[in-house]
């Protein structure tokens, strides 16, 4: 699938690191480093603008290494980029650690997943079919 992209950063385009990678790393496009204090959040711009086909979305997800090692994650994960959005891709990062974290220009801050999606049409009914789970909610399918 071909996706149109404008790169206003000085960094390479996002790319798949291996043949089996689902995501591509997004890099911070900063003039000056940004320090995130504990529990602080910010929007980090990437310098990337994309044009997705209808029926395709881009999902912005955390990088597991940043989350596990530094406590840095994407606040609204996964963030969704819709096919009609033409603005710059920004990543909402939050520092969930107890230490300051400095974001440098070019740092890999998130990953981008390209995915197909469906559009639903609601069908209003008076009742739903029965299942063995029924109305069991959070944790209701776990082993006791």
Separation of alpha carbons 22 and 57, rounded Å = 14
pLDDT band with cut points at 50, 70 and 90 for residue 35: very high
Cα–Cα separations (whole angstroms), residue 49 to 3, 46, 144:
10, 9, 48
The answer to whether 95 and 71 are in contact (CB under 8 A) is yes
Separation of alpha carbons 6 and 51, rounded Å = 9
SS3 assignment, position 71: coil
Average pLDDT rounded to a whole number, residues 65-70: 96
pLDDT higher than 90, residue 33: yes
Enumerate the domain spans of the chain.
4-116
134: left (phi over 0), alpha (psi -120 to 50) or beta: left
Separation of alpha carbons 95 and 2, rounded Å = 34
Separation of alpha carbons 140 and 7, rounded Å = 46
Average pLDDT rounded to a whole number, residues 62-81: 96
Question: Which tens digit of pLDDT belongs to each residue from 37-60?
Answer: 999 999 999 999 999 999 999 999
* pLDDT for position 133: 80
Question: Which tens digit of pLDDT belongs to each residue from 105-128?
Answer: 999 999 999 999 999 999 999 999
The CATH class of the 4-116 domain is mainly beta
pTM: 0.88
């Amino acid at each position: 699938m071909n996706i149109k992209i404008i790169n206003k950063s000085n960094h390479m385009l996002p790319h798949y690191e291996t043949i089996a990678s689902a995501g591509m790393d997004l890099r911070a496009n900063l003039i000056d480093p940004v320090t995130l204090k504990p529990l602080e959040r910010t929007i980090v711009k990437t310098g990337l603008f994309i044009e997705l086909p209808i029926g395709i979305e881009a999902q912005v997800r955390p990088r597991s290494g940043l989350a596990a090692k530094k406590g840095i994650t994407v606040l609204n994960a996964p963030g969704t980029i819709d096919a009609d959005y033409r603005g710059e891709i920004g990543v909402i990062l939050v520092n969930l650690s107890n230490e300051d974290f400095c974001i440098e220009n070019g740092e890999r801050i998130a990953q981008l997943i390209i995915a197909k999606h469906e559009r639903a049409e609601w069908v209003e009914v008076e009742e739903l079919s029965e299942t063995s789970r029924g109305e069991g909610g959070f944790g209701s399918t776990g082993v006791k």
